[in-house]
Structure formats: C-alpha cells, structure tokens
Amino acid sequence: MNKDIYILAIETSCDDTAVSVVKNGSQVLSNVVWNQNKTHQKFGGIVPELSARKHLKVINYVIIEALETAKISFSDISAVAVNNQKGLIRSLVVGVSAAKALCLSLNIPLISVHHIEGHIFSNFIGKEISFPHICLTISGGHNLLICVNDYFNYQIIGNTLDDAVGEVYDKVARVLGLSYPGGPVIDKLSKNGDETKYKFSRPMTDLDSLDFSFSGLKTEVSRLKSKLDETQTNYKIEDICASFQKAVIDTLIFKTLIACRKNNIKNISVVGGVSANSRLRELFSEVGLKNNLEVFFPELQFTTDNAAMIGYVAHQKFLKKEFEKLDLEVYTDEPLV
C-alpha cells in the first residue's frame, strides 16, 4: 500500500497569508486564508510594508489552523511547498523563510511553485480539464492568456500592457468613491445597474493582438464621472459600474475567443480573483454555449490567492521529485515561461 502524501503549502505573495494541506494531490484538507483587506482599505490599495508585517505576525497561527483543520500534525507532512515566484518581495520572503524552517526542522523536501502556475491549476481541484486548454488568468496582479499544453508546458499568448484587470477594478472603485477591493463591490452594484447606459470602449479589440490594456478605461470612467458631477446631471453609480464592468467582460471574452480560434482549442479555464465575478461567469458561460466551447471556473474559495492551488501543483512536482535546496530565493516578477 502506498503511503499517503500530505503537502503543506504556503502562499504569501501579496496581502493574504494562506496555508493549506493537500492530501494525495487532490484532497484539500484545509485552505486557510488570513485576509488583510481591512488593513489596506483606508489606502484604497495594498501597502507592501504593512502587508509584510501582517504576514509575519500571523504566519504561525495560520500554519497551526491549517494543520488543525486538516487533523494532521507536523510529523505527517511529506513536503512543504511555497510560492517564491511573483509577488511583493517583502511578503514573499516571510512565506519562503517559514517554508525553509519547516523543512529544516522536519527534515522533509522543499518544493517551489510559481504563483501563476498555482492559479492555472486552481481549476483542477475537484475536476480535470483536458489539455490543451486556454487559460485566462485575471486578478489584481496578472492578466494573461495562456495556452496550457500539459503540466509544466505553457505558452503565454496574451499579456497586459499596463494594469491588470483587478487593479483597474480597484482604481475605478476609488474614482467612484467605493471601497477596496473594487471587484466585489462593483460586481454587486452592477446587478442594479443598466450596463448599456454608458458607452465605454473595448480596449484593443480592433487589433489582431491578444494583449490587454485596461488602464484607459479607468480614465474614461474618471472623465465621465467628472463630467456628470460638473453638469450636475443625475446619475446612478450602479449604471456606471454595470457599463464599466460590461466593457471589461466583453473585452476579456473577445480576446479569449480569438485565442481559442487561433489555436483550435475548445476548452477555456478562467482563473484568478476576478474569475469570482458573477456577471463574468454568466456571460462567459453564455458565449461558451453559443460557440460550442466548454468554460471552467474554479470553486470560489480557489479564485483569490490561496495555498491549496500551490499544494496541487507541488504534488505533481513531488511525484517527479523536483525538490529545492534550502538556499531558495524569491523572484518578484519571474516570467512563467
């Protein structure tokens, strides 16, 4: 009988302190995320130094909770996985130091995982998506179109030229005087808004390119709001939210469909924090049905940053015995390929 494999995974790339225990690659026994949104709310965005301080302050508690929820102890862990690629450097070092200390004290292997790789496979937890597929990663930190050929075989076919889509949500929220993070609040308000009320551009949909550029949309929203305020026109913030959101989603769908057509691929995987957006899920699914494409979304708990996705990828590396030495470093913006 094969021994069960328990991977303890750590993810501290941005403002969430996340630790998870993944059993045999597919069973997520715990997925603890210590969220810092309240800390950063006052600033309308993330303050890196504060973020790093919070990670260090709570790291032990998050590890303890992940083990307790999983009902295992330190001695059961087979390997420790950590995201050391992509993220805020001050935040990453806290998670990586903790991971190394676990490995040294338990004498078990260390596995490194790229943050984006984690997101790609966040959609594999509890289901399988066949290869190749097109993966759209959308969050506050990344905005990529990736052709996923197999495990560890990726090709980036589209990238953002400026702000990632989640970042634009945050900035638009700030312009509209809404709270941080912008995604959930704009999504919620949009439900009571008219998405055809204002005309925003669909950036770069007139070009034969799979790249994105959303920063201009923020300027458009900002200009519209100033104009409406100046002319003392009555308006509903919900309508601006809905119209802005529709422009974003239309653009994402448009580019993803081109990516599928160009590569003759029928499966779409949409991941990252923004993939939790309800209207985006609706519209993507509609378009999928219409075009005979299958669209997959991760469970909501695996959309935003989490460690379970790191654990999932780490299991694949564990099987290949792809381990790291304890002199592992961090890379703040390491490309996926």
Partner 1 sequence: MKNNFLIVDTSQENLVNVVLSNQNNLINLKNENKRECLRNLVPMIGEILENNNLTLEDLDFIGINSGPGSWTGLRIGYSTVKVLSLVLNIPIIEYNNFELIKKYSNIREGIILIKSSNDNYYFSEIKDSENLVDGIISEIDLLEKYSNKEKFYLENYSLEFLKSVLDEKFLNKNFSSTNDLEPYYVSTGLYKEHHE
Quick one: 290 or 325, whose CB is closer to partner 1?
325
Give yes or no for residue 171 binding partner 1 (CB under 8 A): no
> Sheet holding 6-11: strands in order across?
27-35, 16-23, 6-11, 79-85, 110-114
Q: What totals of helices (H) and strands (E) does the chain contain, helices first?
A: 10, 10
CA gap 306, 316 in Å, rounded: 17
Q: Is 89 in the site for partner 1 (CB under 8 A)?
A: yes
Binding residues for partner 1 restricted to 105-164, rule: CB under 8 A: 105-106
Q: Is residue 102 close enough to count as binding partner 1 by CB under 8 A?
A: yes
Select 57 or 236, whichever has its Cβ closest to partner 1: 57
By the rule CB under 8 A, 330 interacts with partner 1: yes
211-238: burial string, b at 16+ Cβ within 10 Å, e else: bbbbbebbebbeebbeeeeeeeeeeebb
Which residue in 86, 90, 119, 246 binds partner 1 (CB under 8 A)?
90
| Residue among 49 and 286 whose Cβ is closer to partner 1 | 49
Q: Using the rule CB under 8 A, is 333 a contact of partner 1?
A: no
- Asked if 157 and 145 touch (Cβ cutoff 8 Å), the reply is yes
Q: Is 81 in the site for partner 1 (CB under 8 A)?
A: no
* β-bridge mates for residue 34, sequence order: 17
Q: For residue 116, which phi and psi values (nearest 5 degrees)? A: -70, -35
Q: Total number of residues binding partner 1 (CB under 8 A)?
A: 37
Q: Judged by CB under 8 A, does residue 50 bind partner 1?
A: yes
72 makes contact with partner 1 (CB under 8 A): no
Q: Tell me how far, at minimum, the Cβ of 122 lies from partner 1, in Å.
A: 25
Residue 56 or residue 228: which is nearer to partner 1 going by CB?
Answer: 56
The only residue of 71, 101, 153, 229 in contact with partner 1, by rule CB under 8 A: 101
Q: Which residues of 136-148 are buried (b: 16+ CB within 10 A; e: fewer)?
A: bbbbbbbbbbbbb
Note whether 94 binds partner 1 by CB under 8 A. yes
Question: Is position 334 an interface residue for partner 1 (rule: CB under 8 A)?
Answer: no
Q: Is 53 among the residues that bind partner 1 (CB under 8 A)?
A: yes
Q: Per CB under 8 A, which region of 198-206, 224-232, 288-296, 322-330 contacts partner 1?
A: 322-330
Q: Does 64 bind partner 1 (CB under 8 A)?
A: yes
| Torsional sign, CA 12, 14, 17, 18 | negative
Binding part of the chain for partner 1, among 25-33, 173-181, 304-312, 324-332 by CB under 8 A, reads 324-332
Instruction: State the SS3 of 240-266.
Output: HHHHHHHHHHHHHHHHHHHHHHHHCCC
> Mapped to the 3 state alphabet, what secondary structure does 110-172 carry?
EEEEEHHHHHHHHCCCCCCCCCCEEEEEECCCCEEEEEEEECCEEEEEECECCCCHHHHHHHH
Task: Please say which residue, 282 or 329, places its beta carbon nearer to partner 1.
Answer: 329
Largest Cα–Cα distance in the chain?
Answer: 75
Query: If binding is defined by CB under 8 A, does position 327 make contact with partner 1?
Result: yes
Residues that bind partner 1 (CB under 8 A): 39, 42, 47, 49-50, 52-54, 56-57, 59-61, 63-64, 74, 89-90, 93-98, 100-106, 325-330
